[in-house]
């Protein structure tokens, strides 16, 4: 993949070996500042990395809660069923 490089993660709980790709994106400065404050991060890279980790952790917690309630994960793709699963 062009622009990608491999590195060994020292803090990621998701992968020991990760791919890092340089990307050029437009970022909403107000949202970035709000997320940076919530996460307590100082740099754009740290904020994005931490935000991505938080989303992955949130998904895992959601799946665990659904499993504990006996909800089939296949229902997650169906918005009405997803809303019904959360009561």
The residues spanned by each domain of the chain are: 27-85
Q: What's the pLDDT score for residue 12?
A: 53
Is there a contact between 39 and 51 (Cβ–Cβ < 8 Å)? yes
In this prediction, residue 66 carries a pLDDT of 86
Low-confidence stretches of the chain (pLDDT < 70) are: 1-18, 87
**Measuring CA to CA, which residue among 22, 15, 19, 16 is closest to residue 5?**
19
Residue 11 has what pLDDT?
55
- What value does the CA radius of gyration of the chain take, rounded to a whole number of Å? 17
Residue 25 pLDDT: 94
What integer pLDDT is reported at residue 56 of this predicted model? 93
The angle subtended at Cα 71 by Cα 70 and Cα 77, nearest 5°, is 165
CA distances from 58 to 22, 29, 30, 72 (A): 25, 24, 23, 18
């Amino acid at each position: 993949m062009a622009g990608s490089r491999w590195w060994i993660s020292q803090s990621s709980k998701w992968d020991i070996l990760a791919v890092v790709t340089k990307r050029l994106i437009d970022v909403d400065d107000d949202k970035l500042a709000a997320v940076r404050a919530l996460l307590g991060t100082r740099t754009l890279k740290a904020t994005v990395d931490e935000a991505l980790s938080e989303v992955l952790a949130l998904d895992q917690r959601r799946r665990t809660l659904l499993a504990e309630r006996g909800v089939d994960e296949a229902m997650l793709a169906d918005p009405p069923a997803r809303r019904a699963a959360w009561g």
